[in-house]
């Protein structure tokens, strides 16, 4: 399902269920608190490059991640342009999580190198100057 496809059948009951999840789920509360401590402000849950409703519909919520103090949501809610959108593409193409892949094959290395180039180019302003990193 594309990130916005669910909107065809999203109604008041789905919104109420989602809002209850976001307000009372223990993992969401842990995520919000950790995010607030790490970033200094609350997470942006409306708009932006992540669709929390799509993630919730896919059964995803925040989960602890080794090496990070802030739990991460799954890839189902990533909109085009999300900084780690490429990870889902990697997992789809190679069947493994790039964070746990170990030594990369030549094909995986090529994929990762292209992502680094794309990431660098996306941070250039129209004059070719490196722009501040978006969060």
64/40 same-domain check: yes
Whether residue 104 is found in the same domain as residue 64? no
For residues 10 and 51, membership in a common domain is answered with yes
> Is-contact 67 32, C-beta < 8 A?
no
40 and 62 belong to one structural domain: yes
Number of structural domains in the chain: 2
Q: Is the same domain home to 104 and 53?
A: no
Identify the domain containing residue 106 by its residue range: 83-135
10-46 pLDDT tens trace: 899 999 999 999 999 999 999 999 999 999 999 999 9
Q: What is the pLDDT of residues 84-99, one digit of tens each?
A: 878 777 878 888 777 7
Do both 23 and 1 map to the same domain?
Answer: yes
Distance CA 83, CA 135 (A): 8
User: pTM for this structure?
Assistant: 0.68
Secondary-structure breakdown of the chain: helix, strand, coil percentages, each rounded to the nearest 5:
50, 10, 40
Give the list of residues 6+ apart from residue 51 with CB closer than 8 angstroms, or none. 3, 4, 77, 78, 79
128 shares its domain with 72? no
Task: Provide φ and ψ at 50, rounded to 5°.
Answer: -140, 135
């Amino acid at each position: 399902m594309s990130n916005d496809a669910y909107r065809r059948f999203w109604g008041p009951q789905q919104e109420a269920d989602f809002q209850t999840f976001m307000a009372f789920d223990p993992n969401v509360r842990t995520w919000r608190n950790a995010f607030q401590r790490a970033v200094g402000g609350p997470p942006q849950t409306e708009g932006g490059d992540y669709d929390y409703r799509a993630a919730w519909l896919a059964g995803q919520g925040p989960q602890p991640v080794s090496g990070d103090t802030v739990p991460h949501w799954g890839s189902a809610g990533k909109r085009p342009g999300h900084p780690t959108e490429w990870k889902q593409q990697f997992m789809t193409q190679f069947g493994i999580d790039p964070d746990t892949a170990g030594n990369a094959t030549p094909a995986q290395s090529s994929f990762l190198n292209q992502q680094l180039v794309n990431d660098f180019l996306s941070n250039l302003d129209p004059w070719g100057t490196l722009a501040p990193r978006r969060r």
